[in-house]
Amino acid sequence: MSERRFGHIPGYPIGSHFVSRQALSRAGVHRPRIAGIAGSGQAGADSVVLAGGYEDGEDYEHTIFYTGHGGRDPQTHEQIGNQVLIRGNLALAQNRLHGLPVRVIRGAGFRSPYAPDSGYRYDGLFTVDDYWRGVGRAGFFIWRFRLVKMDADTQRQERVVQEALHVQELKQLYHYRCQICGVQLRGTAGSYAEAVHIRPLEAPHNGPDTSENMLCLCPNCHILLSIGGVGIADDFTLIGRPGSLYVDFRHRINIEHVRYRRQHYPPDPEM
């Protein structure tokens, strides 16, 4: 099975102990037997192991600065070149772009007060809040990722994962282009867009969490839709600016939600 499995793995709650990488792999908690990052540059990373393999990992229990991979001599394991934003590093960058949490496993080899005494321990889901390029002790570039432990309850964590995977589909349908202004925000690791609920999820609006109630927007049009800077008419023409909402023929939008948004977040102060 090569398909990525994001989120908690049923049967292995936080704190589960594993005697070896083989055991971790069999459980599906971290599939690769050598690589520290399980992931692809397309789908993102579903798990990482901190086992001391790389030179610079700093552990503050709820926040971890995780160092990417690459640039090492396969024989001596010394850093002999720069890390590049490819493979596992690119995968973790996807987690940042798409709000996908990653499983964190600490191994006994990791120099940290929070590492287990032996074997490996599953320590829960972390969000990838940011990533940047630093310089490691050997003087070469390394990629670093700020992992922050999710503090919601397990059920809610699972919802965040499912939601992030679900909205990915909608964003991919639009190639991360904003349905209002058409902009596509591209960075070095990929594109960024936001899935916005037309009728908000939160009380007292209680909009449904379905693609009928979602738009793929850039952050600017997201805020504009919330502060009356732009509105959407029943025929999808835009209010407050020229043009129309772009809607893919495979994306059904429920017009009731469009009306709800327009009435509750009116684009015209006289409304």
- CA-nearest of 97, 29, 93, 40 to 66 is 93
Q: What is the C-alpha separation between 100 and 47, in angstroms, rounded?
A: 11
Q: Which residues of 58-84 are buried (b: 16+ CB within 10 A; e: fewer)?
A: ebeeeebbbbbbbbbeeeeeebeeebe
Among positions 50-79, residues that touch a copy of itself (CB under 8 A) are 58, 63, 65
> Rounded distance, CA 127 to CA 147, Å?
6
Nearest distance in Å: CB 26, a copy of itself = 36
Q: Which residues have CB under 8 Å from 46's CB, separation 6+?
A: 4, 5, 6, 38, 39, 102, 103
CA 177 to chain CA centroid, Å, is 18
Q: 9, 223, 233, 255: which one contacts a copy of itself (CB under 8 A)?
A: 223
Binding mask 105-134 for a copy of itself (x = CB under 8 A): -------------------------x-xxx
For 58, the token pair is: 């700093």
In single-letter form, the type of residue at position 170 comes to L
Interface with a copy of itself, residue 226, by CB under 8 A: yes
Distance of CA 170 to the CA centre of its chain: 15
Instruction: Give the interface segment with a copy of itself, choosing from 28-36, 40-48, 181-189, 244-252 (CB under 8 A).
Output: 181-189
Considering only 10-18, 22-30, 71-79, 93-101, which stretch makes contact with a copy of itself by CB under 8 A? 93-101
* Closer Cβ to a copy of itself, 116 or 267, answer by number: 267
Site string for a copy of itself, 237-266 (x = CB under 8 A): --------------------------xxxx
Residues that bind a copy of itself (CB under 8 A): 58, 63, 65, 84-85, 93, 96-97, 130, 132-134, 144, 146, 183, 185-189, 192, 200, 202-205, 218-220, 222-224, 226-229, 263-269, 271
